[in-house]
Amino acid sequence: MKLEFITPQEAETIKRKMPKSKTMIEYEDYLKQLPERQVGKLVVDKKDTIKPNTAKARLIRASKNLKLNVKTKRVESTILFWRE
């Protein structure tokens, strides 16, 4: 083991290096395709294996990964999302 001291700024730059899942790439692609001044509408069907809240959480995480300011709104099984 090796003990080392670093600055808080250096500590903030250290991140885990994990490959992105295919699911997260898919949600990031949804956001990349979103035209300016348009609202995306994602409908979670009863046949899907996820819940609407899961889809909304994934959109939020994808927007953070892309450093986009995205707002979301869930109405039953529909998730609306747009850039601010």
Domain count, the chain: 1
- Residue 20 has what pLDDT? 79
Q: Is residue 10 part of a domain?
A: no
pLDDT single digits (tens) 40-72? 999 999 899 999 999 999 999 999 999 999 999
33 within a domain of the structure (yes/no): yes
Provide the pLDDT for residue 36: 87
pLDDT tens track for 5-17 = 999 999 999 887 7
Instruction: Give residue 17's pLDDT.
Output: 77
Query: Binning pLDDT at 50, 70 and 90, where does residue 30 land?
Result: very high
Tell me how crowded residue 82 is: count the other CB atoms within 10 A of its CB: 16
Quote the crossing angle between the two packed helices 22-33 and 52-65, to the nearest 10°. Answer: 80
Which among 71, 76, 81, 82 has a CA at the least distance from the CA of 44?
76
Task: Please tell me which residue, 15 or 33, carries the higher pLDDT value.
Answer: 33
**Residue 25 lies in domain:** 21-83
